[in-house]
Amino acid sequence: MRCSVIASVIFLGIGSITAFADSGDFDMSRWEAVMSDIRSRAATQNISDDTINATLKNPAFIPSIVKSDKNQSEFKLTLDEYLGRTVNSTRVSRGRQMRGKYPTLLNRIDNDYGVPPHIILAFWGMESNYGEVKSRHRLVDAFFTLIYDGRREKFFSDQLLALMKISDKNGLDINKIRGSWAGAMGHFQFIPTTLASYGVDGNSDGRVDIIDSIGDAMASAGNYLNKLGWDKRQKIARRVAIPANFDKSLLDGKTKKSLNDWATMGVVNSDGTPIPRGEMVAGLVADVANLNASESDEYNPDVDVAPMPMVTAYLTYPNFYRIKKWNNSNWYAIAISELAEKLK
């Protein structure tokens, strides 16, 4: 058993992993315990012996995944930088091409789930650049590595077990399922538990495959957004302007007020015209850190342009918060909004 486990953690050549193990950083007994725990839990959850044996056949420990998990918050972009990277002309052009390539499928998703084509395309573009981003890791390797690391052991154990059930149910070879280092897969980057709950057989072939079937992927995305409560009658967000002295504590999207209240507080459309009035509730989001940085700049008397009396922000409607259940990031939700508008 010990020899087979040692063999299973070899990755990218014997040298790098052997050095890692010999340094004392790698705990072989923990690796064995993780594998034993998954075997036991899978058996109690009625996962087939074939899938259990395939999963445990030769999982690899991948040090770069541990590094990615620990360093994922080190680099932060301003909102403008983020939008420049995500909502660019290439992605918009590619999205329009995809709309022309899959009109029937996109319209069927709209009819079945109430999610319009431009919304599906925006998520598809953001998640995998319309399927062009290729998954790097076998998910079995990614999950075993993250379980071993222990920072979110229960979460990643649940993901691996869900993946094993998906493999069983759909007749998929678990060792051929690839995804991101964090365990997301397919055109819309679902994690296994999300796929288990919302996956749909979109091409009626009797199984759900969101990696190789665009029909399954789109139907699953539409079903997920539908179950989150997507309302096709509503916007996601509206770009607005606010007074320069606006209370910045209100700009994180958590404070909800009626449109009437926001208008009374000086919120206007980005062109200066009044925003729609009404009792509909919305939040307000802006790049507060960037605003604070701008305020800290020293006044330069040689620059004869006065500071702008208004700053850009976004009114955030209920669909915005549904997007945040998919990805809990204000910047991501704004990017979906901006990209979707360009793909209408």
Sorted by where each begins, the domain ranges of the chain are 237-295+305-316
pLDDT at 21: 44
If one compares 204 and 74, the residue with the highest pLDDT of the two is 204
Phi/psi for 216 (5° steps) reads: -65, -40
Mean pLDDT value of segment 102-111 = 98
Which tens digit of pLDDT belongs to each residue from 284-323? 999 987 766 544 444 344 433 334 456 889 999 999 999 9
What pLDDT is attached to residue 75? Answer: 55
Per-residue confidence (pLDDT) for residue 54, from 0 to 100: 97
Cα 43 to the center of its chain, rounded Å: 31
What integer pLDDT is reported at residue 23 of this predicted model?
A: 43
pLDDT at 172 over 70: yes
Is residue 199 predicted with pLDDT exceeding 70?
yes
pLDDT of residue 292: 61
pLDDT tens-digit readout, 15-71: 334 334 444 578 999 999 999 999 999 999 999 999 999 999 989 999 999 888 887
**How do residues 214-260 score in pLDDT, each as one tens digit?**
999 999 999 999 999 999 999 999 999 999 889 999 999 999 999 99
Query: 4 pLDDT exceeds 60?
Result: no
User: Among 46-55, 128-137, 189-198, where is mean pLDDT lowest?
Assistant: 128-137
Lowest average pLDDT, out of 113-127, 136-150, 276-290, 301-315, goes to: 301-315
Return the pLDDT at 222. 98
Calculate mean pLDDT across residues 83-111: 97
